[in-house]
Amino acid sequence: MAYISPVQDLTFILSHVVNISALSETAIFAEVTPDVTEAILTEAGKLCDQQIAPLQRPGDLSPAQLRDGVVRTAPGFSDGYRAIAEGGWVGLAAPVAYGGMGLPMALNTAVNDMMAGACLSLQLCPLLSQGQIEALSHHASDDLKSLYLPKLISGAWTGTMNLTEAQAGSDVGAVQTKAVPNADGTYAVTGQKIFITWGDHDLAENICHLVLARLPDAAPGTKGISLFLVPKWLPDAEGRPGAANGVTTVSLEHKLGLHGSPTAVLQYEAATGWIVGAPGGGMAAMFTMMNNARLGVGAQGIGVAEAAYQQAAAYAVERRQGRTPFGDGPIADHADVRRMLVAMKADIFAARAIALACAVALDLAAATGADDQSARAAFLTPIAKAFGTDVGLAVSQEGVQVHGGMGVIEETGAAQFYRDVRVTTIYEGTNGIQAMDLVGRKLKDGGEAAFRLLEEVQATAEQARTSLPSLAGAVWDASESLRETTEWMVAQTDPSDRFAGAVPYLRAFARVLGAHFHLIAAKAADGTGPRAALAAAYVQRLLPEHASLLIEARAGSAGLYALDLDDLLA
């Protein structure tokens, strides 16, 4: 089955669930009316369905290759990227002053969701450029902005993120790449970076690397890290790509999935770079890009889940095997297959609503400067990233299961979704790190942002008690249990006790938020029809998971360390 962008679902969630209309009441997003939203999503959907989705299988079967020092991308990727760039999609949410459209992150997130579902390998390239645009917009000098932002926004140049080294993965403070000042105010950057997504390719005329490195005599750890912009080709006096910089592609990684996306090992040898932000402020500047990317990666997981679900559902309504309760029908009529399909669809809706709610909060914070919206977005970001990618992994795995034996036959394409999405739970901060961020940094306010969200959940449940009593009561009870566990988390003084329960706590929070958004959707549909039925299925079958998750979240760390390392190896 060909991929069909979920324009209708995205439009419904934005309009009826996460209140994108609040943006049109602000000065900077006043033109974002329902008609504009629908038009943008419709056009993006056409691009994804007609030009991007056909590249999904070719990218897997004919991956990017490094030959004689030159990276050649998969067949059709160049045309696909050109369509994205020429359509202005890279700069959808970028500053108008530098050629962007200045539209909300909520719309950008929705478009990224569709593009990821169409072809995640290709969508990674503009996503990274968008993150770099965000970082440069906030931290670069005016000269760097003037030169690089128009090029990145137009798609003529692309951007990357260079954090990881062989000895420095999640522990970014272990970075050893050096940056030595040159007499002209630039820096000579030397070191090797690994796992650099779209680190080299033939789609654009230049590639701009944001590189974490240490200045001479820099402090140890993350406090001594600075950020540098290092282009593959040095711009000449007219701002055009000129002489080659000291950046070499050593190799391309051989990966489980995402074969169409070249992931490079890059060697920097006295490469010319420009500092972005203050010396020693590299992590602050890079986190601007990473937080942008974390929401984007959550949308990637959701997009792949959508594509995997569509293929599985199409297969299930065509494949006939055994007798169903309705006679000689398709396997979709078997109760267990129906269980899988309903759970897949319900989880996709929940994850998508969480991601779009996070994006709307980011937009409201940018438009109004409201601290509560900023805190809301910060709290939702790790949930959106972790739950969105967990759903991508779970749904693509179930998609293989729905296909049965055919799911492990590569020609069906079902396994590719699973292989491609697997890394999303790892990059831009593993989902365990997202959970630790949630119970660590994001609860440093004493749980204020969390409690505000829970008050919103309970208010919605109270309003729905008359029209949807069984669903509303279950959602209210679940949110109250989550409130009690949040209070427990806030009270813990030993970080290990918080961290030991971080992952189940994040997932429980996502479960409750998912039920909250399903309940809003059911109310918007007047408690009838498929949206209300899907909400009931989520609340009855998936929400109960929160109870066991919260028990685990409060278990503390002692039991984990009762087994020492020798016991684990025995």
- Banded model confidence at residue 559, pLDDT cuts 50, 70, 90: very high
Taking the CA atoms of residue 6, residue 375, residue 286 and residue 169 in that order, the dihedral angle to the nearest 10 degrees is: -80
What are the boundaries of each domain within the chain? Answer: 159-280, 432-557
Summarize pLDDT for 357-405 with one digit per residue, the tens.
999 999 999 999 999 999 999 999 999 999 999 999 999 999 999 999 9
Query: Distance between CA 307 and CA 530 in Å, rounded?
Result: 20
Summarize pLDDT for 88-135 with one digit per residue, the tens.
999 999 999 999 999 999 999 999 999 999 999 999 999 999 999 999
Q: Are 430 and 264 in contact, with CB atoms under 8 Å apart?
A: no
Active site residue 410: no
Q: Which residue out of 31, 398, 428, 455 is catalytically annotated?
A: 428
Summarize pLDDT for 432-472 with one digit per residue, the tens.
999 999 999 999 999 999 999 999 999 999 999 999 999 99
- Going by C-alpha positions, the residue among 122, 302, 118, 120 that lies closest to residue 198 is 122
CATH number of 432-557: 1.20.120
Q: Give the rounded distance of the alpha carbon of 362 from its chain centre.
A: 14
User: Look-up: residue for tokens 């189940």?
Assistant: 504
Helix segments in 317-370, DSSP class H: 335-368
**CA dihedral sign, ordered 271, 247, 239, 292:** negative
pLDDT at residue 348 tops 90: yes
- Going by C-alpha positions, the residue among 393, 388, 413 that lies closest to residue 2 is 413
CA atoms within 13 A on the CB side of 267: 7
Beta bridge partner(s), residue 228: 211, 275
Amino acid at 177: T
Query: Distance between CA 218 and CA 227 in Å, rounded?
Result: 13
CATH 3.40.630.30 fits 159-280, yes or no: no
Query: How crowded is residue 317: how many other Cβ atoms within 10 Å of its Cβ?
Result: 16
